[in-house]
Copies of this chain bind each other. A is one copy, B any other.
Amino acid sequence: MDKDISYKDKKVISIGVMRELTGLSERQIRYYEERKLIFPERSSGGNRKYSFSDVELLMEIANKIEDGVQTFEIRQEIVKEKKKEEQKAIRKKMLQGQLNAQFGIKNYK
């Protein structure tokens, strides 16, 4: 049902390329993963693979770190964001359900 994930979210970028794209060290990139701020996929051999979205995410993380924000705070922000997104999805689904039940409107956007 979902469209195939766009290029932006395809995990295809190695950590070396990530280093070039973000200007961060590999150590930093791995550490942010350890602190649950970023979630690369793995190749069959165990190598990390990132998406372009991850590039943007890492840039934001780096900015916050520079501003003195600690990783656990950043993680909280991320969790909050995620919950907001979920709420949004739920509200939309409920509205869709009502529209559908009362008027038979499909695919309200």
Contact = CB atoms under 8 A, between A and B. Distances in A.
A99 interface: no
Interface stretch (A9-17, A32-40, A77-85): A9-17
A12 B22 CA distance: 13
B12 A17 contact: yes
B12 A13 contact: yes
A108 interface: no
B16 A13 contact: no
Interface in A19-77: 21, 43, 49, 52
A52 B7 contact: yes
Interface of A: 7-8, 10, 12-14, 16-17, 21, 43, 49, 52
